[in-house]
Structure 1
């Protein structure tokens, strides 16, 4: 189930898959105003587009590389990698919904519950980190967040 806000945690004492903390909730990207919902998917963490801010109420919905609405597209799927200090880095892939290009990705969460997503080609040094901020408003089922008139 995709949660639209908050932070749901499953914790235990060891580093087995059942002991991993799986953050879930929604975050807004800092560059496009897209709302991303994150939840556990098997032993991984997955993120889907759950909201897209339109500049004008009549703007068309963004289309992905397949010619479909970007709504509910999977943006990243990452696996947990616990560290000795108790933190977790999540690594896997991120997909650009505009063109379908896939990149390596690292995801981590800071003390303020901000999500850091670093997409890169080859080495993490050759990438860019975005910080996404918690989003607590509901999103419509069609993902389109229209501005007030």
Structure 2
């Protein structure tokens, strides 16, 4: 009887402590992914283009919030003819990125409206204001990296 009381007082068989720790760690990781350091507005390498990155579901996504002056306004280069008339404004071009570490997001897709192609992607937060986006086909070795810079919310977003 005394042994049983001691076990209850110390957390039972010892499994509840590790289970609770695992649950808290999982919840903390999920919260960190939702409150990711990459959330915000990013100026791409293309003049005038800003992408808003934010949590979406259990991953991170990004949508076009400003477009290049004098550039495309519709998804003209999309392979799917039914989508070629859709507006680029607020189009999700980054999706499905999952947080692998405090500075890395992987296993996402990057849509390039200039070419109409979709690539596999990863993102690395190099500093609080610098984000490297890598788009690739197959493996990351066969790809290209763009460096984006954090910016303010645009005064006049498209749409």
Tell me if both proteins adopt one fold, taking TM over 0.5 as the criterion: yes
Query: 1:80-109 deviations in whole A, cap 9, x for unaligned?
Result: 112xxx543333111112343211001111
| Alpha-carbon distance change, 48 to 139 in structure 1, aligned in 2, over 3 angstroms | farther
| Alpha-carbon distance change, 114 to 122 in structure 1, aligned in 2, over 3 angstroms | same
**TM-score of the superposed pair, with normalisation by structure 1:** 0.72
**TM-score of the superposed pair, with normalisation by structure 2:** 0.68
* Structure with the larger helix share: 2
| Alpha-carbon distance change, 29 to 60 in structure 1, aligned in 2, over 3 angstroms | closer
Higher radius of gyration, 1 or 2: 2
Structure 2 residue 111 is the aligned partner of structure 1 residue 95:
yes
Q: Residue 81 of structure 1 is aligned with which of 76, 100, 103? A: 100
User: After alignment, is 18-27 or 99-108 more displaced?
Assistant: 18-27
User: After alignment, is 115-124 or 96-105 more displaced?
Assistant: 96-105
Task: Report if the CA contact (8 A) 2:42-2:151 is conserved.
Answer: yes
Within 5 Å, give how 1:1-149 maps onto structure 2: 14=25, 16-20=29-33, 21-22=35-36, 23-54=38-69, 59=70, 61-64=72-75, 65=78, 66-77=84-95, 78-82=97-101, 86-143=102-159
Cα distance in 2 between the residues matched to 1:114 and 1:14: 28
Task: Give the superposition deviation at 1:37.
Answer: 0.4
Q: What RMSD in Å do the two structures reach over aligned CA positions?
A: 2.2
Q: Which runs of 5+ in 1 are unaligned?
A: 1-12, 144-149
Task: Report if the CA contact (8 A) 2:123-2:131 is conserved.
Answer: yes
Aligned length: 124
